[in-house]
Amino acid sequence: MINSRFIFKRIKRMVLKASDPVLSIASLPMLLSIGDWLYIMKKIENGKLPNLSNDEKKAKIRKHTNIITFKDVEGNDEAKLELKEILAFIKHPKKFSDLGARIPKGVLLYGPPGTGKTLMAKALAGEAGVPFLSMSGSEFVEMYVGVGASRVRDLFKEGRKKAPCIIFIDEIDAVGRQRGAGVGGGNDEREQTLNQLLVEMDGFDANKGIFVVAATNRTDILDPALLRPGRFDRRIVVDRPDLRGRLNILKVHTRRKPLANEMDLEVLARRTPGFTGADLSNMVNEAAILAVRKGKICIEMDDMEEAVERIVAGPERKGRFMNARDKKLTAYHEAGHVLVAMLLRHADPIHRVSIIPRGQAGGYTLTLPKEDRCYFTRSEIFDRIKILLGGRAAEFLTFKETSTGVQNDLIQATELARKMICEYGMSDTLGPVALSRSQEQVFLGRDIARGPINSQEIDYTIDKEIHHILDSAYEKAEEIITSNLDKLRLIATTLLEREKLDGAELSQLLGRLDTDDDENE
């Protein structure tokens, strides 16, 4: 038996008696390491080390008490169609094997967060009526060497017992990222776990009846061996829903909720471009909470509108004190956005403008796109930059100086100008060339060794082009406002009186405005 207390005291006495204080301090890490080793040895003697061989390595088996089917999933018809074909593989494998078709071993669902990847996998299991085993990628990773690989083996061993079954690995990027991309370059526990997963999916041992489904929003960092045919044969994108998809999602989430007769879900679908299924679910829930707070017996349209604004701009902060000058500054700033937007050809119609603070914003202007768009022209992006700079132009023309309220507008305008030059090839000087890497998110393990993508001369030219675009857009916005100062004052004074105006009220206030037909820079 190890007398750990005696050994620890002897080492401590040796360090304290050292004549050199620097040596004593330098010996402390060694003392702590020995102490840790003695502590572990003591635990081994007493049998108190954690047991990692049983329940902690088991997969979670989902029992279908509340079965989810494809009827409960809306917004991604193409993904559903792909999964229905996978369902045919699971239910009728002989039909495909008779024609010599090889059944796919796995499918990877990828797309932005909140688009319903996990829900799609659950619906696939519900339609197939087979056991559904699931683990998240983070559950494989442990500080103890070999535990992750052991959990992978246990997961597939359980799957072979339950076959035919579906194994679902959520957030697979936690364990499936590229090997050799660690900053230290070592073969860490995560890589051993990935190696075991690769073997289980396409090794010498056949896993008949096991179908692997995984979900991630970072396909760019996954190991190529994981994505090759024979492992994840199918890759299905689960993207943000379009207008029709958002309408169908809203119908699903409002199915069992009392709605007012004037509720128009199509308008709400148009109001929420870029919203994911999770965003829409949250919006409907926020509207229900607001309706209860106001003592209503059903959800009305203004509750939904308020919920959208809460998600986009944050909750109203009516208690936030704004003095008369700040309120006037905000009114003219938002009036500048509105006026420039209403006088440009490529701008979306104004839906609502408000000077009631929300979140960190003192005011906000919301637009209502006429339709969903996949692509935008140079003129359309340039007009959007003009609208963003319209608030600053209105402040300067009214008060002869600008405020800190233009910060977010400048950030967005600069980012749009940079994308025009570096990603979209819309610069006359630099021409049609991509000057930035394709991935938007950085993967440190891969990108840390990469040098700058552009030369100093190119970077200097990019900066000049950004300044040229922003200066041209600002001059145009300033010109529009200067020619319509009376309308700017009318919008601002009305906002000071009412605090909030919608699109119909603005049209009634200003009448028909002739849009600017000049060619953009």
Q: Is 126 annotated as a binding residue?
A: no
Q: Which residues contact 445 (CB under 8 A, 6 or more apart)?
A: 177, 178, 181, 182, 183
Specify whether 334 is catalytic: yes
Q: Is 409 annotated as a binding residue?
A: yes
Closest of 116, 118, 121 to residue 106, by C-alpha: 121
Q: Is 113 annotated as a binding residue?
A: yes
Gap between the Cα atoms of 467 and 455, Å rounded: 19
Structure tokens that stand for 359 in this block:
């979140």
Cα dist from 331 to 190, 351, 473, whole Å: 54, 16, 22
376 within 8 A of 520, measured Cβ to Cβ: no
Residue 205, phi then psi, degrees to nearest 5: -80, 125
Task: Answer left, alpha or beta for residue 136, where phi above 0 means left and psi between -120 and 50 means alpha.
Answer: beta
Q: Is 180 annotated as a binding residue?
A: no
Gap between the Cα atoms of 17 and 24, Å rounded: 8
Sign of CA dihedral 272, 277, 278, 280: positive
Q: Which residues contact 520 (CB under 8 A, 6 or more apart)?
A: 378, 379, 382, 383, 476
Q: Is 333 annotated as a binding residue?
A: yes
Gap between the Cα atoms of 334 and 405, Å rounded: 10
Q: Is 503 annotated as a binding residue?
A: no
Q: Is 451 annotated as a binding residue?
A: no
449 within 8 A of 296, measured Cβ to Cβ: no
Gap between the Cα atoms of 27 and 138, Å rounded: 36
Neighbours of 176 (CB within 10 A): 28
Catalytic residue, candidates 305, 306, 334, 395: 334
Q: Is 203 annotated as a binding residue?
A: no
Residue 213: its H or E element: strand 210-216
Q: Is 468 annotated as a binding residue?
A: no
Burial class (CB in 10 A: 0-12, 13-18, 19+), 499: middle
Residue with tokens 């104004």, as numbered in its chain: 350
Gap between the Cα atoms of 29 and 235, Å rounded: 49
Q: Is 254 annotated as a binding residue?
A: no
Q: Is 295 annotated as a binding residue?
A: no
**Cα 285 to chain centroid, rounded:** 20
Q: Which residues are annotated as a binding site for ATP?
A: 111-118
Q: Which residues are annotated as a binding site for Zn(2+)?
A: 333, 337, 409
Q: Which residues are annotated as a binding site?
A: 111-118, 333, 337, 409
Q: Give the residue numbers marked as catalytic.
A: 334
